[in-house]
Structure formats: C-alpha cells, structure tokens
Chains A and B, each alone.
Chain A
Amino acid sequence: MLFCGAALAALVTITALRLDGGGAETVPAAGPAAVDSTVCIAPTEYMRSHHMKMLDKWRDEAVREGERTHVTPDGRRFEKSLKTCLGCHSNNRMFCYMCHLYANVKPTCWNCHLSPIEIPPQ
C-alpha cells in the first residue's frame, strides 16, 4: 500500500513538472540567436565526441525549461535548435548519416526531426 502510494505521488509530481516545463515552452525566448557560419559552437574535437551530449542538453533546456539561447565561452549566442547545427552542416546532406553509419550508431534525433537525407536535394 505504502509503496503504491509513494509510486502514485511520484507519478503525479513528475507529470506536474512536465506540464510545468510544457508551459514554459510557450514563453517566447530572447529572440533567435545570430548564426555565425564560420566557427562551430565548440572546438571540432570536442564536438566530435560530445555533440550528442550537447544536443541532449539543448533539448532538455529548450523544451523543458524554455531556455533557448546558448552562449559560448567567447560570448557568441546561438539558438538551441537542431536548425542551428543544420544551418551550416546541411550543406552536406550526408553529414550526420556518414559517421553514424560508419560507427553503427542510431541516434534518436530522427524519430521526431526530419533528417537531412530525407529532404530531397534542391
């Protein structure tokens, strides 16, 4: 009984928090960040090994907390969005695919988002 009660309470809390996060989404962010297409948001080395962590963090912060602006250590501002990445990296529509295929990694991004290789070349 006690266990069931605790589980129920936990469930309610989680749901409430999620709703709360959902509400935050409606609050407009501080405007779209400027896109600097010459330099990535972090050093290439770091991005190669940590991009999934970065994207995961962005997703949580943007969607759940409504915190949509990423500020780099050197003060540049970016919108926390896959669009920011693809703004540069979509010039090669195989950009994500190649490495993921090679390393046999199946990211969950494309479960919701449209993958660049799904967009027909113009």
Chain B
Amino acid sequence: MKKILMPLLMVAALALVPYVGVEYAGLGYLFGVLIPYAAAFLLVAGFLYRMVDWLRRPVPFNIATTCGQEKSLDWIGQQKLECPPTRRHAALRVLSEVIFFRSLFRNNKAELRKGPDLAYGSHKWLWLGGLVFHWSLLVIVLRHSRFFFMTPGPFFQFLEDADSFFDVTVPALYMTDVLALAAVTFLVLRRILDAKMRVLSLQTDYFPLFLIAGIVLAGIGMRYVAKVDVMPVKVLMLGLMDFSFNPPGEIGALFYVHLFLVCVLAVYFPFSKLMHMGAIFLSPTRAMPNNSREKRHVNPWNAPVRFRTYAEYEDEYREKMKKAKLPVEKE
C-alpha cells in the first residue's frame, strides 16, 4: 500500500541523513547544534503563529455541543461537565478531554448484522491506546529534562524513579518506553487492519506515527543496546539550553539519528494535524459554556441583514387580514 510505505520510506530516509552526515561527512555541528536550534525556533514560532492565527478569528456563535442535561428548572439535576453552565465548567470539560480523553471513553462500535440489525458494543481500545500513547510521550519528554537541566527538580526525579520502578535490566527499564512502543504499534495496526481506518487514513496519518516510532526506537537503542556515552550528550544539551554554539563532543551516530528525528517532528508539528494539541483548548463546541439563552453571546461582525418587517407584511395582506378579523396597524 503506497500510502503506508511512502511515509515509512520517508522516515527511514530521514533517519539515514544524520547517520551518513555525522559518520561519513563529519557534520556533527550541523546536526548537533544548528538544526536543533532551527527546529526549536520553528516549533515555538510555528506553534505560536498557529495559535494566534486561530485566536484572532472570531467565534460568532455559541455552538456548544451539549452531551448532558442543561441548566433548567431548579429541581432538574444538571450534568455540569457534559453541559457546562459556566466558563469554569467549560474549562473543566476541556481539561477532562485533555487529561482523560473523556469523549473517546464514550466510543462504541456499530455492527451491521443480518436482519438487518445494528448492534453497538463498547469499544474503548482507541481510548486506552490513545491515552497510553500520549501519557507515555509526556512522561518521556519530561524525563528528558535530566539532559536539559543541571539538576532537575524533585518532580522530575520522582517521574524517573516511578518510570523505572520495576528496576529490571541495566540501565533500569522505563515502563513508558515499552508502553509508547506498544501504543504506537497499536495505533499503526488499527489504521491498517480496520477497514474503515484503512480507507480514511492518509499518508500524513502514518508519517507522524512512524516518525515517533523511529524516535522511540533510536532512544531505546541508545539506552539499552548500542550504548552512547551520556556525558557529551549532556554537555551538548546544557550548551543548547544556554544558547551556546560550542561544537558537540564525541557522540555515537545513533544519538544524531534520535535528535534529528526529534527535530523533524518539531518542525513538522506546527504545520500538521499534530496541532490538535493546541486546537483542543479552543474548540468552540467544547470550550464554550451552554448558557446562550442566559447570557447573550456577542458576534463581533454581526452582519446587518434586511428582513421583511411586519409593516411590509401587513401592506401585502391587509385586506385578507381584515376579512379574517385580524387586528391591523393601518386601516
């Protein structure tokens, strides 16, 4: 299948670039310093640009999607999270999406059987896979702070300890490494095996999954298999955090593969569907309170529209109205 193989080849090619570049062309400075700076800049600037670009577009109407009982008569119980009466509740609703993937938890699967008959079953695999995927990636990113800060705070230390709690293998196995890899495998497989997913998926859906899988594999490889000396890595990272332009020390090529794929992800991020990270906070159907009858929502461009007034209506139908004994304004 072209749309699966193409992104896979792209990621493989991207992984080869720094390997060849560092191993055979001695471009450690390019891949270790210049590209990471450029990527970080593009990530931050791109992300901000996209957010601002969304935020400056008006929200003309309050279009909250209500998934529970609204505020009504006093004695009717409300579902304040599913149908937020205030901005605060709407914020909690969005947070429940961000943290717990609440809507995906609702997911079910429809099956058309003989009859014909539609059957619905609970289907929380996507919720579980998505949750594991995102939370693992978050913990992994936070855990990396040991490379970015001289002494990461106690919270990061706790994450690190918790993540390596089982203390198997040397160095200690991180649970999130395994979970992220398992989740990304699941997310790829469901796109290939489920008939609906296969037809709706695009190359841009496989690419970030393969890219993230590549990053995770390179990272795992560095830690457990083809080991890389972490000392010059930390020197380089601390240097980057200080905006220094010192050349990197002797680091294995696998590290450059890992770093370069991260840079690709960073650059790709703001210009792709990965921006759902920011969009989820802005989605009008979720982020708005369902209080549009209680509090007037203002549309900044509320376009004037000419409508047919009562006077025009009466002018056309006055005689008929009088015959029907309807009161009229003008005789």
Direct contact of A and B (CB under 8 A): yes
Interface residues of A, Cβ cutoff 8 Å to B: 45, 48-50, 52-53, 55-56, 99, 102-105, 108
The verdict on B314 contacting chain A, using a C-beta distance below 8 Å, is no
16 example contacts (A-B, Cβ-Cβ < 8 A) are as follows A45-B250, A48-B229, A49-B230, A49-B252, A50-B227, A53-B170, A56-B170, A102-B231, A103-B230, A103-B231, A103-B234, A104-B146, A104-B151, A104-B157, A105-B171, A105-B230
* Residue from B146, B150, B160, B229 within 8 A of A45 (CB atoms): B229
Total number of B residues with any Cβ neighbor in A under 8 Å = 17
Which A residues touch B151, using CB under 8 A?
104
Query: How near does chain A come to B227, taking the closest CB pair, in angstroms?
Result: 4
Q: Is the interface of A mostly helix, strand, loop or mixed?
A: helix
CA distance A48 to B160 in the complex (A): 22
In the A-B complex, list the 7 residue pairs whose CB atoms are closest, starting with the nearest.
A104-B146, A56-B170, A49-B229, A49-B227, A48-B229, A103-B230, A52-B170
* Residue from A53, A55, A102, A104 within 8 A of B227 (CB atoms): A53
Q: Is the interface of B mostly helix, strand, loop or mixed?
A: loop
Given contacts A49-B229, A49-B230, A52-B171, 14 further A-B contacts (CB under 8 A): A49-B228, A49-B252, A50-B227, A52-B170, A53-B170, A55-B170, A99-B231, A102-B150, A102-B234, A103-B146, A104-B151, A104-B157, A104-B160, A108-B167
Query: How near does chain A come to B226, taking the closest CB pair, in angstroms?
Result: 9
The verdict on B152 contacting chain A, using a C-beta distance below 8 Å, is yes
Interface residues of B in 130-177 (CB under 8 A from A): 146, 150-152, 157, 160, 167, 170-171
Which A residues touch B228, using CB under 8 A?
49
Query: How near does chain A come to B162, taking the closest CB pair, in angstroms?
Result: 13
Interface centre among B146, B150, B152, B227 (most CB of A within 10 A): B227
Closest residue on chain B to residue A102 by CB atoms? B234
CA distance A53 to B227 in the complex (A): 9
Which A residues touch B167, using CB under 8 A?
108
